[in-house]
């Protein structure tokens, strides 16, 4: 049994309330269990209880065993001095306040309904794809829908926290922060770190000076990425190399180690060289991008900025000086959608929150609702359980559910898990 199961029972009052009393025999009435606290400090704030007819207002702490109070060293933390009730599965040791008085203790053991305990044990011991797979389809659809809506907001808030760090590193320059956020998306999962380093070391203000000179722009991107330090024979990489040497001296640039870039297990269209070529083309049309995105009325208007075709050299190359069959290496629709989902929507949401503007936040939600559902192995797992997401809003919610709740077995904090226990 985990402590969070007791949290669930206490906050939902799903235990036997007949003849409540403390372990010392004092009568107990629960008027309000308190506000659930997921941060440091007691587990529930501002509870209201009557103990032997005396009304108490304060905090409640929960443990499986009462001795965990001492093991966690709460006796040395003033934040716990206001605890009015210690709720435990079983009391193995009385706990005293710093002044020597006994903290009233309530045992949950013997008060847990058999049905809830049985389903909890099923969740706890499950080895299936998600712990509640045995009963997922039995959970009410309205509960699932409302919970997934909440998870989408939670996911955007998580990304907001990361974007706050990006903006801080950019010294509150919103356009620079957007540029770095989009750059990370061009790396997807496997090359996100070198793309982040590239953008951090190649400020947008430098790129903007060369936006109307495609050769110089591509030279800056590939040179800073570390791909122009080799010996070349082809005219295009030689031109890029000459331009970068000049510009690197002018701006005191230091290139990345080319070994940071990963090619393993990538299709040629996903090679970092192709992504860098596409990124260079994107930068040519990215002037005042934030204001352009804020003014956009449709998904198509936003998507147009990321639908790019690299320079002519890359139409028959995947690597420098390695000719390949001619294939269209423009950004695919699925790649553009990923940028809109993982960079643009979170950034608009964050910008709206930070500026106190509702419109950008609504734009973020509308964008996710209008984009096609993502496809990957995780989402296939949800489809196998009967989920049929209709848009990116729903797929992002399902990703959040799997990563933040199912994988971490936080069933007691999940509305679907709670519904299954009832």
Beta bridge partners of 28: 51
Which candidate, 392, 299, 339, places its Cα nearest to that of 182? 339
Question: Could you report the per-residue pLDDT of 47-79, keeping only the tens digit for each?
Answer: 999 999 999 999 999 999 999 999 999 999 999
Distance between CA 193 and CA 179 in Å, rounded?
15
Distance between CA 5 and CA 64 in Å, rounded?
10
Question: Could you report the per-residue pLDDT of 151-171, keeping only the tens digit for each?
Answer: 999 999 999 999 999 999 999
pLDDT at 55: 96
3-state helix, strand, coil in the chain (%, to 5): 55, 10, 35
pLDDT in tens, the chain (422 residues): 889 999 999 999 999 999 999 999 999 999 999 999 988 899 999 999 999 999 999 999 999 999 999 999 999 999 999 999 999 999 999 999 888 899 999 999 989 999 899 999 999 999 999 999 999 999 999 999 999 999 999 999 999 999 999 999 999 999 999 999 999 999 999 999 999 999 999 999 999 999 999 999 999 999 999 999 999 999 999 999 999 999 999 999 999 999 999 999 899 989 999 999 999 999 998 889 999 999 998 999 999 999 999 999 999 999 999 998 877 789 999 999 999 999 999 999 999 999 999 999 999 999 999 999 999 999 999 999 999 999 999 999 999 999 999 999 999 999 999 999 87
Give the gyration radius of the chain's Cα atoms: 28
Distance between CA 224 and CA 199 in Å, rounded?
9
Q: Is 59 helix (H, G, I), strand (E, B) or coil?
A: strand
pLDDT at 353: 95
Question: Could you report the per-residue pLDDT of 168-213, keeping only the tens digit for each?
Answer: 999 999 999 999 999 999 999 999 999 999 999 999 999 999 999 9
Question: Contact at 8 Å (CB) between 228 and 222?
Answer: yes
Which candidate, 213, 176, 187, places its Cα nearest to that of 276? 187
Question: Could you report the per-residue pLDDT of 279-303, keeping only the tens digit for each?
Answer: 999 999 888 999 999 999 899 999 9
3-state secondary structure 61-118: EEEEECCHHHHCCHHHCHHHCCEEEEEEEECCCCCECCCCCECCEEECCCCCCHHHHH
For the record, the structure tokens of 74 come out as 């709460």
10 Å CB burial of residue 271 (0-12, 13-18, 19+) is: buried
318 CB-near residues (< 8 Å, 6+ apart): 268, 269, 271, 273, 274, 324
CA angle 79–85–89, rounded 5-degree value: 110
Report CA-CA distances (Å) from 282 to 124, 208, 258, 316, 386: 48, 12, 22, 19, 39
Helix residue ranges per DSSP H, 252-391:
272-284, 289-295, 299-303, 333-339, 345-355, 358-370, 377-384
pTM: 0.85
């Amino acid at each position: 049994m985990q402590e969070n199961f007791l949290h669930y029972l206490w906050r939902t009052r799903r235990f036997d309330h007949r003849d409540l009393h403390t372990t010392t025999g004092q009568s107990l009435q629960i008027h309000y269990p308190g506000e659930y606290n997921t941060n440091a400090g007691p587990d529930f704030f501002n509870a209201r209880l009557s103990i032997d007819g005396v009304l108490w207002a304060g905090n409640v702490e929960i443990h499986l065993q009462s001795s965990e109070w001492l093991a966690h060293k709460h006796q040395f933390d003033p934040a716990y001095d206001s605890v009015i009730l210690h709720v435990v599965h079983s009391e193995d040791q009385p706990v005293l306040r710093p002044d020597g008085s006994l903290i009233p203790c309530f045992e949950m053991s013997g008060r847990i309904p058999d049905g809830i305990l049985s389903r909890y044990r099923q969740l706890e011991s499950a080895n299936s794809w998600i712990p509640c797979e045995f009963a997922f389809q039995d959970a009410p659809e309205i509960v699932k829908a409302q919970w997934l809506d909440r998870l989408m907001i939670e996911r955007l808030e998580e990304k907001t926290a990361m974007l706050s760090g990006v903006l801080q590193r950019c010294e509150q320059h919103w356009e620079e922060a957007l540029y770095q956020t989009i750059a990370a998306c061009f790396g997807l999962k496997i090359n996100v770190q070198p793309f982040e380093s590239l953008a951090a070391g190649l400020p947008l203000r430098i790129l903007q000076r060369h936006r109307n000179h495609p050769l110089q722009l591509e030279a800056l991107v590939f040179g800073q990425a570390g791909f122009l330090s080799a010996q070349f024979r082809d005219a295009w990489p030689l031109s890029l190399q000459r331009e970068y040497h000049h510009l690197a001296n002018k701006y005191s640039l230091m290139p990345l180690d080319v070994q940071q870039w990963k090619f393993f297990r990538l299709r040629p269209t996903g090679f970092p060289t192709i992504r860098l070529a596409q990124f260079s083309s994107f930068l040519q049309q990215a002037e005042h991008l934030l204001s352009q995105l804020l003014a956009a009325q449709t998904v198509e208007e936003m998507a147009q900025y990321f639908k790019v075709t690299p320079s002519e050299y890359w139409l028959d190359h995947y690597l420098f000086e390695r000719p390949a069959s001619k294939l269209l290496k423009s950004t695919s629709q699925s790649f553009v959608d990923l940028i809109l989902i993982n960079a643009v929507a979170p950034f608009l949401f964050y910008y709206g929150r930070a500026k106190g503007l509702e419109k950008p936040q609504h734009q973020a939600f509308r964008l996710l609702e209008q984009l096609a559902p993502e496809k990957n192995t995780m989402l296939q797992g949800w489809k196998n359980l009967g989920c049929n997401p209709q848009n990116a809003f729903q797929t992002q919610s399902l990703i959040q559910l799997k990563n933040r709740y199912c994988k971490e077995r936080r069933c007691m904090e999940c509305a679907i898990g709670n519904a299954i226990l009832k």
